Structure 1
């Protein structure tokens, strides 16, 4: 197996896991303004990358396909929800919810797969889904509220992934169109916020202004690593490596930013981790069975 592929994927997940530290540096700025800046500067950065790669022929091809363009625009809308809720969670003391969201994401994704793509689950996979949702039920009873933050972050990313299943465009061009569709609204929001005195002026000073364009870099670079590495990385290995991201977020939230890890958090995470172990076990059993039957694993 080519080792560069898994190394690129690993780098992506580590960068995503460390990303809350970056968003914390912008905690004084309104979360929606940060989101708007992230969209605009991501477009600027990916445009520069495509120019260096001479990748605008692929941009023209995608632009000529109306259905592909529609899928990319819809993907942009959902990734906007994901980015915005994630930034708000990190900068509002809900980093644990952000971590939980990405532990829950595989379970939400396979549940979405059964409803949208009519994928069939094994009994062990259904059990993993049931265990995860039992943890949510226990949390609702104890907290007397639904963990909306984690569900919105994890759910929006699961839907984004489902939309991307039908996208043929390569990652860089996809990010270009996703951010291009959102940038006019994002730029208008930033200008309106500055005119109202609710933007970054008066909050950021000197070199701190560089954090806004840096948001485009820290958004795009992990995606480029992922796009390069996933082509030669087995999906099972990629799935296991993915948990580095929420694990780093969990450790950072508790050890660095001192968010309270309560008994309810422990119960919920315990159920979710159990569901993940069952999910991974189900994948291993399925792969072993397919190898035994001589069927190629997908």
Structure 2
């Protein structure tokens, strides 16, 4: 059985196609569907057009050869006033149904992507799924999900809230850091500061790609690698001084992620610091893997 899952996020859209014996296709594009959402409360026409264009292309190229397609949205479709219009346009133009995941469902499927991953060998862990509009934090082990919460902070919303200059001004970065420390302390009350952090999402995978100096992003070289807090701090120190055009040109960087990379990295650093961890394992998987694992009965 061949199944496709499309994850519609605040910053990126991701397509995964799997069969019983493994991955057929795993690609993503940054369309920034949630651009301006925090300020206006609704999805803007241009980000909607970009996102529909990518999904339409994937529909023509890939979806005709699958047995089942699962399409789901996360933070941006939970929060936007006009999310129903976007969902209806998907149905009208492509005859595709979109399921909007709750924060708990999103966290559960990300958790499932870790415990069913044969390359991961973690008994107890905290999963950090950093997105464009929210961050899901899951505490669990191979047998059960013990606790979860959704922090209403992400790389896109943080940038739009605090960063207005290129490169950012010192006060902007300090305000972002102060805001994050407060949000994390308030949002993660009761979470154990245990070892075994796993990071999912484009911020962590891009950080790993940049730190490895990859000429082109390669999931096989990034998945399962560890990123170290001191390296993240050094990278943040470098990015704070660079204009966006320099960040876009960095080895390992997806140019479309450059605008939100610094805000995402600061969020990642603050989460590692909160859990008193010096390193974390990077996973290129996430909710799309979990939802297919469930469907395949893995």
Q: Which has the higher contact order (CA 8 A, sep 6+)?
A: 1
- The structure carrying a bigger strand percent of its residues is 2
Greater fraction of residues in helix: 1
User: Which has the greater radius of gyration?
Assistant: 1
* TM-score normalised to structure 1 length: 0.27
With the length of structure 2 as denominator, give the TM-score of the two structures.
0.27
